[in-house]
Amino acid sequence: MPASDAPSSPVQPYDLAVVGGGVSGLSAAHAARQAGRSAIVLERSAAPGGSVHTLRRDGFLAEGGPHTLLLSDPRVSDWLEELGLLAQAVDANPAAAKRFILRGGVPTPLPYSAGSFLFGGWMSAGGKLRLLAEPFRHGRPPAGEESIGHWFRRHFGEEAAATILDPFVSGIYAGDPDQLSLSAAFPRIEEAASRHPSAVRSFLRTAKERKKSGGRRPKRRLVSFPEGLGQLPATLAAELGPAVRTRQDLQSITRESEGWRLTVNGEDLRARRLLLALPPEALARLPLPDDLHGELQALTTIVSPPLTGVAVGYRREQIRHPLDGFGVLCPFRERRKILGILFDSTLFPGRAPEGQVLLSVFLGGRRQEDPTVLDEDALRARVLGEARDILGIEGEPTLFHPVHWPHAIPQYDLGYHRYGELFDRLETREPGLTFAGNTRDGVALGNCVLSGKDRAEKILGIA
Ligand SMILES: Cc1cc2nc3c(=O)[nH]c(=O)nc-3n(C[C@H](O)[C@H](O)[C@H](O)COP(=O)(O)OP(=O)(O)OC[C@H]3O[C@@H](n4cnc5c(N)ncnc54)[C@H](O)[C@@H]3O)c2cc1C
């Protein structure tokens, strides 16, 4: 065991105990270790990785959780480089730049050129005109916090909101645009649109100023790895070695003069600092001292709707659709029983055996019934029926593998900032405690990586 993984003597506390072995918790422990501090990660389940769940089955490489990591912040790329993962990152196939939405039951490409904007059948002529009128017609912002749905409708019109925003929000949050807060869930959009009452003029102004100052928008890459996104937590866990403990059942966490005592699987561990990288429902159930436990009950009002992702394989000739894009998303008004279908083997070629293709069908989220409770026959009928209808499929699949998420992604609804304020308040009161992960700092994988790293460095006083 490297010296920095464990305290120098058994009675010495760890510098940092991390509860939760998802990407956020692993990144936190990795940051501590990089700075020469001792850290331990306590993970309840049998394997680290949390929502990241790659599986190999019958020659397919499938993702049960996230499919892509967006590299837009250079800090995430630097961090991947440190881990030796940047050189291995596989870019999404350029053919997957084309995205389909379902319109009248037909997969219809979203515009990718001026010609397809004007002449494509993705929206009515009136809807397109309303969209183009945004610089002159953008309504007044409401007095209080605004939902992304309200904001988008105000600027771009009803039809664009139903056609573009709705499936985009489904794709990221499996959420409801009228409940998600613009500032909490989409802070970058809010910031980019804040320079002028017209969002379009604001985006143009930012671009112009950036050009004038010689600055460039950081290159955005959508990536995975040869062994899927699971390679990310697997690499972190391998680096951390025995510092990552799985199947850990925390019985109690108590304060001590030097920090914290954690009773786990009947054993007592001590740590100077404690970092909790857990989803909201797990944070609220953690056996913390009564006062903290009481305060964290506020998190039980966070909604994390259930979601099921099903990896489905077919022989190529069974599917009529050319699968020439990222996938097809189903706007709510299409009233389908699925949220969308990703074309995995187009997005990252090589993920299906020769002559076959891999799809991922998602269902559930904020506005559909809970798919995690369906029995296998009902789920199969629903998934295959919808896929058949949308993509023109004949015959039975060669692979059908569901992964259920009873609490998939926390919804950053209107009022979500109050949870951030709660974490800030608890940290001020309790200097040895911090919170990281997708409950607090954004749900995208890149946010989680930076959340774990930054929060660990801050609490450990690492410059
Ligand atoms: C289906 C799905 C698709 C997604 N798609 C994308 C995508 O394409 N791109 C993207 O960027 N993001 C995507 N996301 C979001 C992203 O994957 C997550 O936000 C991110 O992985 C969360 O990481 P985390 O470490 O904060 O939390 P988690 O991954 O939830 O990890 C928390 C860990 O804590 C453990 N735990 C819980 N309770 C305890 C306890 N009492 N003691 C110890 N351990 C405990 C859990 O077992 C888990 O391992 C997706 C999420 C889902 C569910």
pLDDT digits (tens, 9 = 90+) for 278-293: 999 999 999 999 999 9
Question: Is residue 38's pLDDT more than 70?
Answer: yes
Q: Is 309 within 8 Å of 62 (Cβ atoms)?
A: no
Q: Is the CB of 306 under 6 A from ligand 1?
A: no
The average pLDDT across 112-126 equals 84
The average pLDDT across 248-263 equals 96
Q: Report the atom number in ligand 1 closest to the C-alpha of 25.
A: 25
CATH class of the domain comprising 54-95+304-405: alpha beta
Distance CA 182, CA 188 (A): 9
Q: Is the CB of 66 under 6 A from ligand 1?
A: yes
Question: Side-chain half-sphere of 167: how many Cα atoms within 13 Å?
Answer: 29
Q: What's domain 123-212's architecture?
A: Orthogonal Bundle (1.10)
CA–centroid distance, residue 52 to ligand 1 (Å) = 6
User: Where does 121-222 have alpha helices with state H?
Assistant: 125-132, 148-156, 158-160, 166-173, 182-185, 187-192, 199-212
Q: How many CB atoms are closer than 10 A to CB 62?
A: 27
For 3-52+231-302+411-460, CATH gives: 3.50.50.60
DSSP 79-126: HHHHTT-GGG-EEPPGGGG--EEEETTEEEEPP-SHHHHHH-TTS-HH
Query: Tens digits of per-residue pLDDT, 227-254?
Result: 999 999 999 999 999 999 999 999 999 9
Query: Tens digits of per-residue pLDDT, 390-414?
Result: 999 999 999 999 999 999 999 999 9
The average pLDDT across 125-131 equals 91
Question: Is residue 125's pLDDT more than 60?
Answer: yes
The average pLDDT across 383-391 equals 98
Task: Check residue 6 and give its pLDDT.
Answer: 61
- Residue 202, Cα to own-chain centre: how many angstroms? 27
Whose alpha carbon is nearest atom 4 of ligand 1? 66
Question: Is residue 58's pLDDT more than 90?
Answer: yes
Q: Report the atom number in ligand 1 closest to the C-alpha of 279.
A: 30
At 3, the pLDDT band (50, 70, 90 cuts) reads very low
In the chain, where are the structural domains located? Answer: 3-52+231-302+411-460, 54-95+304-405, 123-212
At 277, the pLDDT band (50, 70, 90 cuts) reads very high
